Amino acid sequence: MTDPQPRIINVLLVEDDPGDVLMTREAFDDYLHNRLDVVTDGADALAYLRKEGQYADMPRPDLILLDLNLPKRDGREVLQEVKDDPDLRHIPVIVLTTSQAEEDVLRSYQLHANAYVTKPVDFEGFIEAIKQIDHFFVSVVQLPGKP
């Protein structure tokens, strides 16, 4: 008996650090089978999620990986707007950031983040963290269907 084909999900990475974007793309290209789209600031993240302008034809993500420290609109603002919007709040948001500050962790959960992950600084650790997030949200939990 063969394993069923893995479910493919759409992931939106909201990240302004080119090195972290590159490592995440490598993890997706080498180990994961999901679609990855990237925006580099909070304003573009909200435009993408609302299908505005150049993002009108983009798929609604099944999962958002969100950095906190972003230009234009920071990750906390993006998180709050996503969770306040009835059309978006069902999308799981994983805060993926360098901050280990307790106030950032607490504030993220107060804003209804689904998880808070501190980015490992080494390449192997970073790749492993991305793989574990993917495994959990693709293989372990059931995500809501498309509205």
User: In the chain, how many domains are there?
Assistant: 1
DSSP state of 137: I
Q: Per-residue pLDDT for 122 more than 90?
A: no
Per the domain annotation, does 147 fall within a domain? no
Q: Per-residue pLDDT for 136 more than 60?
A: yes
What average pLDDT does this structure show over 76-87? 96
**CATH number of the domain enclosing 94:** 3.40.50.2300
Which residue would you say has higher pLDDT here, 23 or 38?
A: 38
Per the domain annotation, does 116 fall within a domain? yes
By residue range, what is the domain housing residue 106?
A: 10-140
Greatest distance between any 2 Cα atoms in the chain: 51
Q: Is the pTM of this model over 0.75?
A: yes
pLDDT range class, residue 121, cuts 50, 70, 90: confident
Contacts of 48 (CB under 8 A, 6+ apart): 12, 37, 39, 55, 58
